[in-house]
Structure 1
């Protein structure tokens, strides 16, 4: 073999090995950025997410073990890419569920007060949600940043590279079972977050029902609807402290569950 051909073949092998050592971890990192709350919203352009993935990859990837050479066009590489995307998406999706639980609680309150008609497009995901749900989602985002949730996710990502190395081992199916049980637990937490306001509104609606039975001539629809909306605003205001406390507990337990998922 000519020296030029030998040099070209050696350089090509080194280039493929270098691309593989960066490509697979970047799939896990970028999928986490796309699934995590706030940073994965439509407000963050693809260029920003790509730059964040590359910056985080430059910090994490050099400390990872060397990956064995794999044919980029082989079925094994396709399975490894799907594995890395799945691991990163699960890490980011767990915190995304807390935001959806807060939105779910806000929708419960909106339906009880008649404020569900006051809806707007949420800038985070481009979905139309009631104003109360939008307020709860914004408060959840502030609480997430206050509790350093983004740092918790980055730490969980680094831990995942230690527990589930790139191109080594299989994707543990128990993670999916844990995630399913976690989903039900988080949405139960969303109900608990909205429970004080929903209970108060239920009592108000029950009072209007008693009034309509005691005085049938009383036009409860024309009077009760604006009173319910006004009471809804007051109840949302006075239950904000309870909401933030429950939300903090929910986020803290989610951080613990995230660390327990990657073991």
Structure 2
């Protein structure tokens, strides 16, 4: 009996309770939280992983649904899942920051399109880099690592456990890593564009009658495209570092 004369199968109630943490993580996590993934697929995937969790961990859900302790336990589960997915989402925002820096210097910051990951308009260059980061994330089995940490999180944080204040502080501090990673990701191309701007500035002082808009903008676009083509292997290597740091931050959140 779960309150108000209602009854439910204990196994089904345990599965629903376990799915709260997993589903909350999938709502905000990269790849799983994309708007292109239908809601039934997310629910089915959360249920499948929930069955694995129940098979590996003896989880006892709250005795009653309509109780304050149950609502608090569900809120704690949702907070843990949201925190795990949010950390990865912060790491995945680094390419968008890098694209803003590069696109503004190249003169293509106004070029935008609909991002299939979140359904909102984003810079075209940032969308390209985000897709590359997503493909690298899938190639190194980052999605499987996230699922593994979700399953293992029930060992160190049983259902109903609230996140400590120190771990919430670490999540806030990790937000600064997105700006650092975005700056380092844009550094090779941004440095060349900065040198080009210095050259154009010296030309403007040497020849004030020179039409800088007719020379500077095409030069910035050409140098930016060439620099992206040359520096993209190094940028891809640093994207792997971003993925590793994001997964490490999730592991630190779970295991301390």
TM-score (norm 1): 0.90
User: Structure with the greater relative contact order (CA < 8 A, sep ≥ 6): 1 or 2?
Assistant: 2
Which of 219, 222, 226 in structure 1 is aligned with 2:218?
Answer: 226
Q: Which residue does 2:201 correspond to in 1?
A: 209
Number of residue pairs matched? 253
**Structure 2 CA distance for aligned equivalents of residues 68 and 185 of structure 1:** 37
Task: Determine whether 1:154 maps to 2:147.
Answer: yes
C-alpha contact 1:114 1:229 (8 A) present in aligned 2? yes
C-alpha contact 2:62 2:70 (8 A) present in aligned 1? no
Q: Which residue does 1:3 correspond to in 2?
A: none
**Structure 2 CA distance for aligned equivalents of residues 131 and 157 of structure 1:** 33
Which of 53, 77, 90 in structure 2 is aligned with 1:84?
Answer: 77
C-alpha contact 2:189 2:228 (8 A) present in aligned 1? yes
Q: Which residue does 1:102 correspond to in 2?
A: 95
Task: Determine whether 1:173 maps to 2:183.
Answer: no
Task: Determine whether 1:237 maps to 2:229.
Answer: yes
Task: Determine whether 1:129 maps to 2:150.
Answer: no
User: How many angstroms does 1:253 deviate by?
Assistant: 2.2
**Structure 1 CA distance for aligned equivalents of residues 82 and 29 of structure 2:** 8
Q: Residues 21 and 195 (structure 1 numbering): CA distance in 2 closer, same or farther, change over 3 Å?
A: same
Higher radius of gyration, 1 or 2: 1
Alignment RMSD: 1.9
